[in-house]
Amino acid sequence: MNELLLQYKAIFDGLDALQERMLATTIKWCDKNTGSGNYDGLIDFSQLLEQAFSELGAVEMVALPDRQVIDDAGNVVDYKSAPIVRVNLPQAGKKSILLVAHYDTVYAKDHEFQSCVMQQDGKLNGPGVADLKGGMLVMLQALIALKKSGLMERIGIEVLLNPDEEIGSPASGAYLIERAKYHDVGLIFEPCLPDGTLVGARKGSGNFTVRVMGKSAHAGREIEAGRNALVHLMKILTEIDALHAARPELTVNVAHVNGGGALNMVPEMAVGRFNARLATVEDAVWMQRQLADIIAKYNEQQGYQVELFGGISRNPKPATDANLNLQNFIAETGDMLGINVAYKHTGGVCDGNNLMQSGLPNVDTLGVRGGNIHSKDEYMVVDSLSERARFVTLILMRMAMGEFNFIRDSLKSEE
């Protein structure tokens, strides 16, 4: 057995003993709706987190700017943002770790999926059990264990819990990118796969909205006087769709169109939405340039006003040397606990992309084992609560003891 495991046996045994309490807390947390658009629910839950994380030290509630959304009627609508819950425990002259989790979920307050149910196969079904309230609890218990061990004094710790990851971190992303500049490694608590596989590299992603303003007219009397915004939008989206697969691993998904009304009226407004995923920062630059050219082309046509909103909000997270160094260390740590750690690349994105934008190496799937996320079948493997708490505790302890060779990527933040 590893010397650290022997030396701090009481700490690790204590985590095992917390299994039932962790389960009860997860259910309590997940029975509270924190859909990304449920401002009141997010505010209430942030206060619960403030109380829970105060066991580590002083908790700061970081105010975030409003986020702007183009609604289906083409209007710019402001939505209030809940705060980031932050705990900052720096250690002058020591290496430091940034730990990140989000407390919003994809389930709106009027969604049918609102409560947890224990299943007979050792799984807990519930909204956010895996993504990622279970992981947030793993983070908390691992940090409490680190504090009890006395090793927290040997390494800097900053915790950021953000309220908008499920919609692309539009309000919190810039803050995460900025804070990542001041740390040596990042740990994020998205769920790993049911078998414990972690995510390695990730694609980048961007959400876009195209708004077209034309001119209304009577479809029978003076159709030629009108400017059909819906048809104009369709032409634009056809060209955007043609960008799909134009570069290796680039995907474009035109997902939503809204516009038009009465059949005897020329539509004066139309809104279209699409998502793009890409493998490299160069692809992101190329994509933005292509979109700008398309929008400019259709904006030049008389009688139309075309605007593009959104952008590449998360650049790709490549398998850099620093990230591979961290992945290998975490796999080695898993071996000490009898946990087999494997990695796979994915097209999904998370706040690990944001941290990488500042060159911060990070592993972003250190939460519970689970699956079927973003559906009413979402589940967490119950035993993985204490299992992952032990795992993360050992990672933190080894880093604090100087057993990790910190290497940081020298990437520039993309403007």
237-290, pLDDT tens digit by residue? 999 999 999 999 999 999 999 999 999 999 999 999 999 999 999 999 999 999
The CA angle 325-327-332, to the nearest 5 degrees, is 95
Using 50, 70 and 90 to split pLDDT, how confident is the model at 157? very high
pLDDT at 414 over 50: no
pTM for this one? Answer: 0.94
Residue 104 CA, chain-centre distance (Å), reads 10
pLDDT score of 1? 57
pLDDT at 415 over 50: no
pLDDT score of 399? 98
pLDDT score of 3? 85
Residues in the chain: 415
Task: Please name which of 230, 243, 327, 227 lies closest in space to residue 278, comparing C-alpha atoms.
Answer: 243
129-151, pLDDT tens digit by residue? 999 999 999 999 999 999 999 99
d(CA 188, CA 161): 10
For the chain, which domains are there? 3-202+317-400 (3.40.630.10), 204-314 (3.30.70.360)
Contact 172, 84 (CB under 8 A): yes
pLDDT score of 86? 98
Phi–psi pair at 389, nearest 5 degrees:
-65, -40
366-389, pLDDT tens digit by residue? 999 999 999 999 999 999 999 999
Tell me the average pLDDT across 346-368. Answer: 96
204-215, pLDDT tens digit by residue? 999 999 999 999
384-408 exposure pattern, b = at least 16 Cβ within 10 A, e = fewer: bbbbbbbbbbbbbbbbbeeebebeb
Tell me the average pLDDT across 386-404. Answer: 98
The tokens 């990542």 sit on which residue? Answer: 180
The CA angle 402-406-410, to the nearest 5 degrees, is 165
Q: Are strands 204-213 and 305-314 parallel, antiparallel or unpaired?
A: antiparallel
d(CA 167, CA 260): 27
